[in-house]
Amino acid sequence: MKEIKKIIECKSVVEKLRKKGYKIGFVPTMGSLHDGHLNLIRMAGRECDCVIMSIFLNPTQFGPGEDLGKYPRNFRKDCIKAKNEGVDYMFHPGVEEMYPPGHRTWVEVGGLSSIMCGRFRPGHFKGVATVVLKLLDIINPDNAYFGEKDYQQMVIVRRMVKDLNLGVKIISCPTVREEDGLAMSSRNKYLSKEERKEAVILYRCLNMADSMIVEGEKNLKKIKDKLKGELKDNKFVKKVDYFDFRDPLTLEKKNRVRSGDKEVLAAAAAWIGNTRLIDNVIIKL
């Protein structure tokens, strides 16, 4: 696996791969790799001739007072994991390489960026969309792999790719979970032992929503109130940012299950102690 730090070098490597006719798969991450990330690499490896991963802890998607300073960094360990999974190139630019002095251009995906997580993390998805567009331009992949764990991010990236007529295919990959069901996340490292044990409550509540809908409850507002209450009753849950039902394609809010609906997205964000966790499930009707 070759490590690349400079944009110019990355572009020249990509140009050579393109001349050889290789199909390029791209996996963007912020590092601290776990099985969720490794699964994206495996999918890319199955579908492409060459896998490029990026590890870039993107400062512009963190708000003031968020966890940029303490976000886990394990670049050397990450490289070993990535190499073992068959990553061919690791793009690892510095902050100044991606945001040189004077940088002023931003990408905003209107509407989708200010709901759900965007309501509680203003500017977050502007940072995400901007860095993803920059990375897609540098790497120019055929396919780019994103996890359903960050469902809203995946929908926003798809919208941006469509709106800007980018030639990349966005592939979404299922959420990889710990044995008890907790969605894998670099942020799980922040949890104390007790918090870690209780953190699965988020997934449990999403599954309860699934059962209630499958059993015929159509009033989503009622389910939401019940499950928000369930979360709030847990002494490890400090705050529930949202528990929402949405259209899986447009993220439009849903208050009722209507005849003809095929799928509903249930998504939630909650604070377990000082750690903000997100999770979601797609409920099949």
List contacts with ligand AMP (CB under 6 A).
29-30, 36-37, 39-40, 146-147, 149-150, 173, 175-176, 183-186
Q: Residue 22: is it exposed, middle or buried by C-beta count within 10 angstroms (0-12/13-18/19+)?
A: middle
Please give the Cα distance from 200 to 180 (Å, whole number).
Answer: 7
Q: What value, to the nearest 5°, has the Cα angle with vertex 221 and ends 281 and 118?
A: 60
Least distance from C-beta 187 to ligand AMP, angstroms? 8
- Segment 198-203 long-range contacts (CB within 8 Å, at least 24 positions apart): 198/234, 198/236, 198/237, 198/272, 199/236, 199/272, 199/275, 199/277, 201/230, 201/231, 201/234, 201/236, 201/237, 202/231, 202/268, 202/270, 202/272, 202/277, 202/279, 203/177, 203/279, 203/281
Beta-bridge mates of residue 277: 270
Least distance from C-beta 233 to ligand AMP, angstroms? 26
**Does residue 24 contact residue 52 with C-beta atoms inside 8 Å?**
yes
Q: Is 103 a catalytic site residue?
A: no
Angle, in degrees to the nearest 10, between helices 201-214 and 220-233: 150
**Residue from 34, 37, 103, 124 carrying the catalytic annotation:** 37
Least distance from C-beta 172 to ligand AMP, angstroms? 8
First-to-last C-alpha distance (Å) of the chain? 44
Residue 62 or 236 with smaller CB distance to ligand AMP: 62
Residue 140 or 188 with smaller CB distance to ligand AMP: 188
Least distance from C-beta 149 to ligand AMP, angstroms? 4
Least distance from C-beta 217 to ligand AMP, angstroms? 28
Residue 149 or 224 with smaller CB distance to ligand AMP: 149
Residue 17 or 127 with smaller CB distance to ligand AMP: 127
Residue 150 or 195 with smaller CB distance to ligand AMP: 150
Residues identified as active-site:
37
